[in-house]
Structure 1
Amino acid sequence: MVDKSAIRIRPYTEADRGQVHETLFLGFSMVGDRIVQKTVRHRTTALSILTKSVIYTLVLELLLVTLSAVGNNSTTGTGIGGMMGDFTALQEALMEPTTVQGMVGQFLKPSFLLLGAGITVLVTLATLYSIYSRNLKETQAYIQGCLDEDLGDIVAYYQKDVSTVEKQDKDSKANGNKTGQQTKKKNRSQFWVACLESHPQLVLGCISLDDVAFHSESLLSKHLKQGSPATSFEEPSEFDAELRRLSVHPNYRRLGIAKLLIQTLKDSAKKQGFKRVILSTTIHQSEALVGYIRFGFEREKLVRISEFFTLWYGSLKLNATAKEVEEQKENQALFLKEVGLLN
């Protein structure tokens, strides 16, 4: 059993890379599994499986009954003439009420009912596999995007001190000048890991603070890659910090590690002059979402990406007044109810 008092938070080092990636990827996979489970249990999915089963079963059984009718009523002949005779005989047979009744009876035979049950099972398995396969590809694409963005080189993204940037004033832009005044921006981003006092090399969890103003160019590039126009991009505020990459290894959850990590991020953000912490998460990460809301994060907006995937955007005022803190507490139940985490 891990003693909570033995847990401490320290800055990330390159030696932590493998453990941090494992912790984050396990978290990504667990969220992906929850999305698959919710998709499978969703009434639309169940209706889709049932509809496909009925249609495929009827088509196949109708084909078999039709072939049977052709075999029993075809005229003798070869070539095209024989084929035309088959279809003529079939048309005549289908026009007879007794034959139609016979066809209905064929559908009710035990052999056909067993066939229908088999097709239903196959359609169900194929549908479930397609859902799982699609979700797996989306999860892998998301992980690859994270590696391409910030997790590929955590030190460079979160711990690089300064960056020389070119800043153009309005007159320079109006005159079409491509060069502007070069200034240096300080990177206030940070990345922490939780570990044991006795085993500092063992990573229990992690969290990062992203200086979104410093990484505005990276955010713009990501915005454009998603197919959104440059005109819809909102320049990040220098007073906003984003909470990212919060994850606790499954073996060390329910020890208050996430709370310690968030408090560390909050204290650091305050010291560095940030006024607000923002975040985005999925409503499928129910445990994390409950923690965010109870820690004081308020819902900014809900964005539905697809039928089964919704993002929750929240923010936390770092210098909230006593009155604003009370309002946050009053809104907690409302936010939890909105995302289905409180009855």
Structure 2
Amino acid sequence: MIDKSAIRIRPYTEADRDQVLETLFLGFTTVGDRIFQKTVRHRTTALSILAKSLTYTLVLELLLVTLSAVNNSTTRTGKGAGGVLEDFRTLQEALMEPTTIQGMVGQFLKPSFILLGAGITVLVTLATVYSIYSSNQKDTQIYFQGCLEEDLGDIVAYYQKDVSPVEKQDKDKTGNRSATTPKKNRSQFWVACLESHPQLVLGCISLDDVAAHAESLLSKHIKQGSPASTFEQPSEFDAELRRLSVHPNYRRLGVAKLLMQTLKDSAKKQGFKRVILSTTIHQSEALVGYIRFGFERERLVKFTEFFTLWYGQLKLNATAKEIEEQKDNQALYLKEVGLLN
């Protein structure tokens, strides 16, 4: 059993990269699995899947019975099956014959068709659930790949260089800085480790100086299909909490709380007035931790039936009254996202 007092928080180093990426990837995968579990277990979603499956089943059964009825009709008229499918008038006559309709009903009620319908329903349901799971896993992979192309591509450059990497590109060929004033990068990236094993990464967290990375955020905004005119320039008093993840083997030891406290203390020391974050409501454990740590909900944004983002903020200079109000609203925030009955 790991003693909580033996856990230490230190700055990230290049030697931590593989462990950090593994921890983050496991965190993303776990969230993805939970989204799938929540999806298939949610009452309205389960009913939706079943309703679609039954609809597809009835359509397939109707098609089979119709073809059977048409075939019976053509047998009496002496036409071949191929000729009937090409003759829509014959198909219409076959469907309008009372005896044929009765035959269709009789065929539909036959045990063989009932078993066929049940089989089709099961297959369609399994196919629907599998498609949701596959889509979820694919989205997780795409998201993680996007992270590798952003800040996780070079953690040291993005979070630990004194000047934003984007601003460094503003130097001209002679090495002199351009007219653009370089923005000091106050971002940081920490890892949790054991005092006795400082090389072992238990978890990680980052503080993103969004003002220093405004150009990167604008580029991302445009890549997502939004016009540059709708981009809101980040405030120099805002920092964003990102990349909080604890390795599954070291959870429930208070690692996340220590990481968040480190981030909060550093943000205040560097002059930030607010820490913002965005997370999905499916990251239930993390969301509970954020809310109980003092984050309050700014807004909820629902993108799809299965994907809702929770935007929160932590006021670093909150008054005693504001802190009490946030504590009073914690139950409300949790209830809004279904984490409290």
CA contact (8 A) 1:28 1:139 kept: yes
Deviation at 1:63, TM superposition (A): 3.5
**In 2 relative to 1, CA 113–198 (structure 1 residues): closer, same or farther, beyond 3 Å?**
same
Q: d(CA) in 2 for partners of 1:88 and 1:221?
A: 60
User: Superposed, which structure 2 residues align to 1:58-137 within 5 Å?
Assistant: 58-73=58-73, 74=75, 75-76=77-78, 83=84, 94-137=95-138
User: Superposed, which structure 2 residues align to 1:1-343 within 5 Å?
Assistant: 1-73=1-73, 74=75, 75-76=77-78, 83=84, 94-163=95-164, 165=167, 181-343=179-341
Q: For each residue in 1:295-340, what CA deviation from the matched residue of structure 2 results, as whole angstroms up to 9, or x when unmatched?
A: 1111111111211111111111112222222222112122122222
CA contact (8 A) 1:7 1:195 kept: yes
TM-score computed with the length of structure 1 as normaliser: 0.89
Q: d(CA) in 2 for partners of 1:157 and 1:319?
A: 27
Q: Residue 206 of structure 1: SS of its match in structure 2?
A: strand
Q: Residue type of the partner of 1:15? A: A
Q: Residue type of the partner of 1:13? A: T
Q: Residue 288 of structure 1: SS of its match in structure 2?
A: helix
TM-score computed with the length of structure 2 as normaliser: 0.89
**In 2 relative to 1, CA 264–102 (structure 1 residues): closer, same or farther, beyond 3 Å?**
same
Q: Residue type of the partner of 1:229? A: P
**In 2 relative to 1, CA 77–147 (structure 1 residues): closer, same or farther, beyond 3 Å?**
closer
CA contact (8 A) 1:70 1:87 kept: no
Q: Residue 184 of structure 1: SS of its match in structure 2?
A: coil
**In 2 relative to 1, CA 336–63 (structure 1 residues): closer, same or farther, beyond 3 Å?**
closer
Q: d(CA) in 2 for partners of 1:242 and 1:308?
A: 25
Q: Residue type of the partner of 1:41? A: R
**In 2 relative to 1, CA 235–66 (structure 1 residues): closer, same or farther, beyond 3 Å?**
closer
CA contact (8 A) 1:158 1:210 kept: yes
Q: For each residue in 1:203-248, what CA deviation from the matched residue of structure 2 results, as whole angstroms up to 9, or x when unmatched?
A: 0000000111111111111111111111111111111111100000
Deviation at 1:20, TM superposition (A): 0.3
Q: d(CA) in 1 for partners of 2:298 and 2:87?
A: 68
Q: Residue 332 of structure 1: SS of its match in structure 2?
A: helix
CA contact (8 A) 1:69 1:90 kept: no
Q: Residue type of the partner of 2:18? A: G
Q: d(CA) in 2 for partners of 1:290 and 1:234?
A: 28
Q: Residue type of the partner of 1:34? A: R
User: Could you list the runs of 5+ residues in structure 1 that have no partner in the other structure?
Assistant: 167-178
Deviation at 1:15, TM superposition (A): 0.5
Q: d(CA) in 1 for partners of 2:232 and 2:88?
A: 67
**In 2 relative to 1, CA 309–196 (structure 1 residues): closer, same or farther, beyond 3 Å?**
same
When the two structures are aligned, how many residues end up with a matched partner?
331
Q: d(CA) in 2 for partners of 1:4 and 1:84?
A: 75
Q: Residue type of the partner of 2:59? A: V
Q: Residue 182 of structure 2: SS of its match in structure 1?
A: strand
CA contact (8 A) 1:49 1:123 kept: no
**In 2 relative to 1, CA 336–184 (structure 1 residues): closer, same or farther, beyond 3 Å?**
same
CA contact (8 A) 1:207 1:262 kept: yes
Q: Residue 314 of structure 1: SS of its match in structure 2?
A: strand
**In 2 relative to 1, CA 190–105 (structure 1 residues): closer, same or farther, beyond 3 Å?**
same
CA contact (8 A) 2:84 2:91 kept: no
**In 2 relative to 1, CA 77–209 (structure 1 residues): closer, same or farther, beyond 3 Å?**
closer
**In 2 relative to 1, CA 118–272 (structure 1 residues): closer, same or farther, beyond 3 Å?**
same
Q: Residue 305 of structure 1: SS of its match in structure 2?
A: strand
CA contact (8 A) 2:159 2:185 kept: yes
Deviation at 1:112, TM superposition (A): 0.5
Deviation at 1:39, TM superposition (A): 2.1
Q: Residue type of the partner of 2:328? A: E
Q: Residue type of the partner of 2:2? A: V
Q: d(CA) in 1 for partners of 2:319 and 2:187?
A: 26
Q: Residue type of the partner of 1:307? A: E
Q: d(CA) in 2 for partners of 1:156 and 1:2?
A: 33
Q: Residue type of the partner of 1:153? A: D
Deviation at 1:28, TM superposition (A): 0.6
